Amino acid sequence: MLGVDDRLITPATMKWVKVGLVAGLASIPTTILLYYVLGIAVDAASEGSNLLSDWFFVLAGLVLLKAALAWIFRTGQFRASGEAKINVRDRIYQQVVRLGPGILGKRRTGEIANTATEGVEYLDYYFSVYFVQIWVAIAIPLFLCAAIFWIDWVLGLWMLAGVPLTPLFVGSSARGFRRISKRNEEVKNRNSAQYLDSIQGMTTLKMFNQAERRGKEMEDGNEAQRRTTMKLLLVAQSQFVFLELGFALFSTAVAMGVALYRWSGGFMTPGECVAVVLLSLEFSRTLLLVGEFFFAGALGREVAAKVIEFLNDKAPILSSGTRKSDRAAGKPVTIELRNVTFVYPGAEVPAVRDFSMTLVPNETVALIGRSGSGKTTITNLLLRTIEAQSGDILIDGVSARELSLEWLREQISLVPQDPFLFYGTIADNLRMAKANATDEELVAACRAAELYDFIRSTPDGLNTKVGDQGLALSGGQAQRLAIARALLKGAPIVILDEPTSQIDVETETLLNRALERLTRDKTVLLIAHRLSTIEQADRIVVMEGGGLAEAGTKAELLASGGIYAGMIRTKRAMESRTSAVAPQLA
């Protein structure tokens, strides 16, 4: 409809658009009939009769009908916009879920949030004004000119001559306005993203004494937004002056002048003059509607374009089955990556290239490699937030493409290097893993994760607030909460992304005990950087340039003298230098 993507429109939106449209169109002949009856009453009064009392109930009925249609018109507009906003926000969220962290991480969170909140509010104006009023604005001059032609054809020609001036003027300024509105939307999105980044990174800004510089950048961004907003207002006000104060008054003055001239020549009655002047006032309504829907359309189109651009991003999951494995619940799983290749959209070099690896039950496999070697991509491939362009991933011999996504993700517990905690309580975050978990189950998970002593020491216990993104907790507490969440889930596959990389030795001891409980009788993939962590693995897989460089036990890799052996030699050399320097410092 009107060139708008069907994904932005629901059946409920269309229903209310039609309701508003019918009411808006019906109000035009109602208005014409009301003014014409008033003209008849004026003519009767000029002849000494009093038809007003005879037509009172007709006039009252027409006034009430006009008011009712106006109410239905507005209700239809805003109900349509309400349905559209809910639909668009749902669409954006569904697309966020579809894209997943593997692709979504390439976009700025603040821009997406701004489009879904403030941007969608512009769509309110778009659907409540543009969709309905464009047709009403087209119909009004046609109905009015037809009615005035029926009263007096000369006056009808005069009024018809001025109708094309409005769209011509509006169209002449459309290109510049669209350019400004597009720029304004880009600036707003960037400022929103900067603001969110600054709040989330406040500690870093303070640490580097960059808060003032960042504030200046945001001030410049706000000034740029102010300038583009003022340009928009300038165009809007110039339209207002021309349309409402200029052309609208001019059309009424022309109607009045020509009507008086035709009346003086005996071609029109006094009542017809009154009716025509009143009808000419409705032309100003047309002009107002044209101006309104033009700006609503221009602003709304920019937001709609942003939404459509985001919705058009290709979701990385190309296939999803419905199959579930027949294995017994809790039984460890065999995972095989077979010649997997994945290239991120827009990239030329594969992040993972022809990679193969097997994970067997009750074994911990450490996946190591330099930054950018493809370790995180392997994690996302296993979680199926992205899908390989070639190769396959098998779960107990079944292709992951044949398995239900929901079922597959139920089989995996992830403990990331920086666990994300939602604003709320410890209990709220634990129940992300099991929504119906009892307090006793939460306590048991916290005991196993070495977190219960901390919980017991707080006044609110499980209801202790973790803060925004878990900032009220220490790094070790946040990691143990993530482990407790994974324990509560009880999945047979565990992926650990360097869970002990940012904590002290004492906390690492607690975490290692918790991780030992978590990984018992599981299939475990350990993404590791620290050699002390790697040494806990049964087998080591080394990645380089997205491919498999070497694999084997610790002893086998040391004997081969490859990449892992070089890492160990470097570590020992550093330790030797540290030992030699330590006595001198003492």
- Cα–Cα distance, 219 to 217 (Å, whole number): 5
Of residues 224 and 248, more confidently modeled: 224
Q: Tell me: the pLDDT tens digits for 230-264?
A: 776 676 666 656 665 556 666 777 777 877 877 88
Q: What is the mean pLDDT of residues 564-583?
A: 69
Backbone dihedral angles phi then psi of residue 507, each to the nearest 5 degrees? -65, -35
- Cα–Cα distance, 352 to 344 (Å, whole number): 10
Instruction: Please report the pLDDT score of residue 337 as a whole number.
Output: 93
- Cα–Cα distance, 431 to 434 (Å, whole number): 5
Residue 157 forms part of a structural domain: yes
Question: Is the same domain home to 478 and 377?
Answer: no
Q: In the predicted model, is pLDDT for residue 57 greater than 70?
A: yes
Q: State whether residue 353 is helix, strand or coil.
A: strand
CATH, residue 142: 1.20.1560.10
Question: Is the same domain home to 90 and 48?
Answer: yes
CA nearest neighbour of 235 among 283, 170, 163, 162: 170
Percent of the chain beyond pLDDT 70? 69
Of residues 292 and 57, more confidently modeled: 57
- Cα–Cα distance, 326 to 578 (Å, whole number): 54
Question: Is the same domain home to 119 and 228?
Answer: yes
Q: What is the mean pLDDT of residues 501-508?
A: 59
Cβ neighbourhood burial of 529 (10 Å; 0-12, 13-18, 19+): middle
DSSP annotation string for 64-91? HHHHHHHHHHHHHHHHHHHHHHHHHHHH
Residue 216 forms part of a structural domain: yes
Residue 1 forms part of a structural domain: no
Question: Is the same domain home to 466 and 574?
Answer: no
Question: Is the same domain home to 181 and 122?
Answer: yes
Residue 427 forms part of a structural domain: yes
Query: Which of 286, 311, 336 is a domain's end point?
Result: 311
Q: Tell me: the pLDDT tens digits for 58-115?
A: 778 888 998 898 888 888 877 877 777 777 777 777 777 666 665 555 565 656 666 6
Query: Which of 311, 338, 368 is a domain's end point?
Result: 311
Residue 548 forms part of a structural domain: yes
Query: Which of 276, 311, 346 is a domain's end point?
Result: 311
Q: In the predicted model, is pLDDT for residue 384 greater than 70?
A: yes
Structure tokens at 6: 């069907």
Domain that holds residue 44: 6-311
Question: Is the same domain home to 331 and 291?
Answer: no
Question: Is the same domain home to 232 and 359?
Answer: no
Instruction: Measure the CA dihedral 442/448/452/453, to 10°.
Output: 170
Of residues 308 and 196, more confidently modeled: 308
CATH, residue 496: 3.40.50.300
Residue 158 forms part of a structural domain: yes
Least confident of 280-284, 317-321, 360-364, 391-395: 317-321
- Based on the structure, what is the number of domains in the chain? 3
Question: Is the same domain home to 281 and 370?
Answer: no
Q: In the predicted model, is pLDDT for residue 585 greater than 50?
A: no
Question: Is the same domain home to 124 and 68?
Answer: yes
Question: Is the same domain home to 67 and 151?
Answer: yes
Question: Is the same domain home to 469 and 398?
Answer: no
Question: Is the same domain home to 580 and 435?
Answer: no
Structure tokens at 311: 């919705």
Q: What is the mean pLDDT of residues 455-474?
A: 83
Question: How far, CA to CA in Å, does 574 sit from each of 480, 568, 569, 584, 586?
Answer: 31, 10, 9, 16, 18
Locate all alpha helices (DSSP H) within 163-248, ordered by sequence: 165-172, 174-200, 202-207, 211-240
Q: In the predicted model, is pLDDT for residue 44 greater than 50?
A: yes
Confidence band of 1 (pLDDT split at 50, 70, 90): very low
Confidence band of 340 (pLDDT split at 50, 70, 90): very high
Residue 417 forms part of a structural domain: no
Cβ atoms of 70 and 13 within 8 Å: the answer is: no
β 390-395/335-342 pair status: antiparallel
Cβ atoms of 362 and 332 within 8 Å: the answer is: yes
Instruction: Please report the pLDDT score of residue 2 as a whole number.
Output: 47
Confidence band of 522 (pLDDT split at 50, 70, 90): confident
Percent of the chain beyond pLDDT 90? 5
Instruction: Please report the pLDDT score of residue 534 as a whole number.
Output: 79
β 493-497/412-415 pair status: parallel
Mean pLDDT of the chain: 76
Least confident of 306-310, 470-474, 513-517: 306-310
Residue 252 forms part of a structural domain: yes
